[in-house]
Structure 1
């Protein structure tokens, strides 16, 4: 029997990127490129490195690098502390890169949304699609 109190939901966004994994990896791990498509940050590609993502809306996400497999997998915590429990988020974001004949299949999974966090869950779905649109533009400019 499932304990619904501990059950969490995931947001998954997948996209075919017409660029090789090496190029996509740079956009996921170089701070100046991360800032162009995601948020201002002090990211370092080192397991255990703690960093912040600073949103244009003034929010700050507390993050810690969990996994790094160059050009394959990147995961980090994506925590947003908020006095309103509906917005207090403890989650993990994982990017998985798989080479394809035409470039790279990018899969992003954000795990950790509680069932009562419908607004945050919906916002993440929409937000990641916008982030990935920006990522496409950054990659296209970096030719």
Structure 2
């Protein structure tokens, strides 16, 4: 019998009218990532540890600890997305997977954030409400390059 707590994923998909290379560049270039997501020190290198940084809000210190887990240009990017600082021990420990699939007229962008535990419900709800708008900003940034 499996005693592990149930884990959930958030999945957001959006077809964007851009070549995959433009989306890939927006996903993997630090200054571009900052325009659609958060300030960061991202490098497109497997094993690179980096942070996303934003203004702290109730229940979140504004820092997300990440590590690049997989990089398959220009179709797949995977990184951890974890709580930082004092919140790291019991906080959010998830994985974000970006998958780009060419389709007629553009690319299907799929974002999956997996590993939400029952105690992560506030993060699940917050990120669930946030990702659709984030993908909208990603599409704008990719189109403006």
Q: Is the structural similarity TM-score above 0.5?
A: yes
Say if 2:15 is the partner of 1:12: no
Q: TM-score scaled by structure 1?
A: 0.90
Question: Is the aligned partner of 1:106 residue 2:105?
Answer: no
Q: Aligned equivalents of 1:62 and 1:45: distance in 2?
A: 15
Displacement of 1:116: 2.6
Any stretches of 5+ residues in structure 2 without a counterpart?
none
Aligned-residue offset at 1:104 = 0.4
Root mean square deviation of aligned Cα: 1.6
User: Mind listing any 5+ residue stretches in structure 1 that lack a counterpart?
Assistant: none
- Distance in 2 between the 1:36 and 1:134 partners? 8
Partner SS, residue 46 of structure 1: coil
TM-score (normalizing by structure 2): 0.89
1:123 has 2:126 as partner: yes
Residues 19-64 of structure 1: CA deviation (Å, up to 9, x unaligned): 0110000000000100000100010000000001102335111110
Residue 6 of structure 1 and its aligned partner are, at CA, apart by 2.8
